[in-house]
């Protein structure tokens, strides 16, 4: 059983990580891409924003389709579309073309974001689901640790276009792994009654469920705080603080390691203290640390070491919040797990895109706008947690 559990987490985590690799591997190259294509920082950031838009919008489709057709067929389609988009990005002659193909790439990538969460709900609930979700995130989170380092090595030796060739190869490997190692967890007998009309009804049920929406948005603003870091950190750490792309990758990986390491305690602490109390305490700690980090910068203390240390602590606390709220949000919606996973994921990305859009006019390469976005998102997540979970 333990081997089966680990094997499932490995497969689901690696399939889920294909899309994030397409984000994290090219983050160190954002300034280089701008110079290579003669594009402004806003245009370069648009290649990131449209990818997130596609990730959020596509999940609304993939979730119900996976309820109707099973989990594996939509995953194959998504990986194929992702591969085509990746090859197109590698050959893009200008920023406009790159932006368009990043959208295509994102539409393919979101299959691997939404469907593995539904597979977890197909098989487990409660603390066992939290355990599998946290293990999946352990494998999935290899992306923000290894991808920036791998990307910086590829960029240094082969140029930024090599990043997209690499993720195209990753999509092929993920398809092979999916074909050989993952059984279908939504057999035909469980698809009876799943239809377009049923999907629309399911979305209506979920949109009227304030508890589901609250939990999804707690995780959503947690994700949004990380999106604020994704969109701005390369400019802040490389241009403002003078780190090299490789040093930036190490700093980025440290925050990811904190998130991953603490997330592995989700099931253990959830079983001991309860998932709901754990989320309340963790999100409060996260928002407190992020507000203090912003206050320090506003007070004129522009210390790279202090900022990185507080981000490390804060993202560790966030590692308890996101997997737990994912599990809690789908606990009562097992028969429409794909649709629930899709809407939850869409809300995550909608919150992230909204925060990135609000920050974009103020982004100047300095730490304060980035930290303001992170702290504001953390406070919203904290307020939602205490409001949503007060009776639980």
pLDDT per residue as tens digits for the range 244-265: 877 887 888 788 788 878 887 8
Residue 371 is predicted with a pLDDT of: 94
Model confidence over 38-62: pLDDT tens digits? 877 778 878 888 888 888 778 788 8
**Euclidean distance between CA atoms 74 and 62, whole angstroms:** 7
Band (195; pLDDT cuts 50, 70, 90): low
Q: Per mean pLDDT, which range of 47-51, 174-178, 313-317, 388-392 is the poorest? A: 388-392
- The closest alpha carbon to 368, from 313, 293, 260, belongs to 293
pLDDT at 177 over 80: yes
For the chain, percent of residues with pLDDT exceeding 90? 24
Sequence-distant (≥ 6) Cβ neighbours of residue 43 within 8 angstroms: 34, 95, 99
Maximum distance among all Cα pairs of the chain, rounded to whole angstroms:
62
Helix, strand and coil content of the chain, in percent to the nearest 5, comes to: 85, 0, 15
Residue 1 is predicted with a pLDDT of: 41
**Euclidean distance between CA atoms 79 and 170, whole angstroms:** 9
Mean pLDDT value of segment 299-322: 91
Band (3; pLDDT cuts 50, 70, 90): very low
Mean pLDDT value of segment 217-229: 89
Q: How many helices and strands, by DSSP H and E, does the chain display?
A: 17, 0
Mean pLDDT value of segment 59-72: 80
Q: Per mean pLDDT, which range of 6-15, 154-163, 201-210, 298-307 is the poorest? A: 6-15
User: Half-sphere exposure (CA, 13 Å, Cβ side) for 173?
Assistant: 11
Q: Which two tokens stand for residue 356?
A: 């990135």
pLDDT higher for 343 or 315? Answer: 315
**Euclidean distance between CA atoms 48 and 30, whole angstroms:** 9
CB 303 within 8 Å of CB 265: no
Model confidence over 96-140: pLDDT tens digits? 899 999 999 999 988 887 888 777 777 766 666 666 666 666 666
Mean pLDDT value of segment 284-310: 94
Residue 34 is predicted with a pLDDT of: 81
Mean pLDDT value of segment 210-223: 90
**Euclidean distance between CA atoms 365 and 375, whole angstroms:** 17
**Euclidean distance between CA atoms 200 and 336, whole angstroms:** 11
- C-alpha distances (whole Å) from 330 to each of 43, 49, 177, 190, 316 are 37, 27, 26, 17, 23
Mean pLDDT of the chain: 82
End-to-end CA, the chain: 32
pLDDT higher for 175 or 392? Answer: 175
Residue 281 is predicted with a pLDDT of: 93
pLDDT at 147 over 70: yes
pLDDT at 347 over 80: yes
Residue 284 is predicted with a pLDDT of: 95
Model confidence over 158-168: pLDDT tens digits? 888 898 999 89
Residue 131 is predicted with a pLDDT of: 67
Sequence-distant (≥ 6) Cβ neighbours of residue 248 within 8 angstroms: 27, 28, 148, 152, 233, 234, 237, 238
pTM metric for this prediction: 0.70
Residue 238 is predicted with a pLDDT of: 85
Residue 255 is predicted with a pLDDT of: 83
- The closest alpha carbon to 75, from 109, 121, 122, 124, belongs to 109
pLDDT higher for 3 or 373? Answer: 373
Helix (H, G, I), strand (E, B) or coil at 195: coil
pLDDT at 77 over 70: yes
């Amino acid at each position: 059983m333990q081997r089966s559990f680990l094997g499932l987490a490995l497969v689901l985590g690696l399939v889920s990580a294909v899309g994030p690799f397409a984000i994290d591997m090219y983050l160190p190259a954002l300034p280089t891409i701008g110079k290579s294509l003669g594009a402004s920082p806003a245009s370069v950031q648009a290649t990131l924003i449209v990818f997130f838009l596609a990730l959020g919008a596509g999940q609304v489709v993939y979730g119900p389709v996976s309820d109707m057709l099973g989990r594996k067929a939509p995953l194959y389609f998504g990986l194929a579309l992702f591969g085509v988009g990746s090859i197109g990005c590698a050959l893009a002659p200008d920023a406009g073309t790159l932006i368009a193909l990043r959208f295509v790439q994102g539409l393919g990538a979101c299959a691997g974001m939404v469907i593995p969460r539904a597979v977890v709900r197909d098989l487990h609930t409660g603390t066992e689901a939290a355990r599998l979700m946290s293990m999946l995130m352990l494998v999935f989170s290899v992306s923000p640790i290894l991808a920036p380092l791998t990307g910086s090595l590829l960029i240094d030796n082969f140029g930024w276009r090599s990043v997209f060739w690499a993720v195209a190869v990753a999509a092929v490997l993920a398809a092979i792994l999916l074909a050989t190692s993952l059984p279908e967890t939504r057999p035909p007998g469980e698809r009876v009654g799943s239809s377009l009309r049923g999907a629309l009804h399911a979305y209506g049920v979920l949109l009227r469920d304030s508890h589901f929406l609250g939990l999804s948005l707690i995780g959503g603003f947690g994700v949004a705080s990380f999106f604020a870091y994704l969109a701005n950190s390369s400019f802040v750490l490389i241009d403002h603080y003078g780190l090299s792309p490789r040093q930036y990758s190490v700093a980025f990986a440290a925050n990811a390691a904190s998130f991953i390491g603490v997330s592995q305690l989700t099931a253990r602490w959830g079983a001991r203290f309860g998932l709901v109390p754990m989320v309340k305490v963790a999100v409060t700690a996260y928002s407190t640390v992020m507000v203090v980090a912003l206050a320090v910068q506003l007070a004129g203390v522009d210390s790279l070491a202090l900022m990185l240390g507080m981000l490390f602590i804060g993202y560790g606390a966030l590692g308890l919040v996101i997997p737990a709220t994912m599990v809690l949000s789908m606990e009562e919606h097992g028969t429409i797990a794909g649709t629930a996973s899709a809407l939850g994921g869409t809300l995550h990305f909608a919150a992230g895109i909204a925060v990135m859009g609000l920050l974009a006019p103020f982004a100047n390469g300095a730490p304060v706008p980035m930290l303001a976005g992170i702290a504001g998102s953390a406070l919203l997540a904290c307020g939602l947690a205490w409001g949503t979970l007060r009776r639980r």
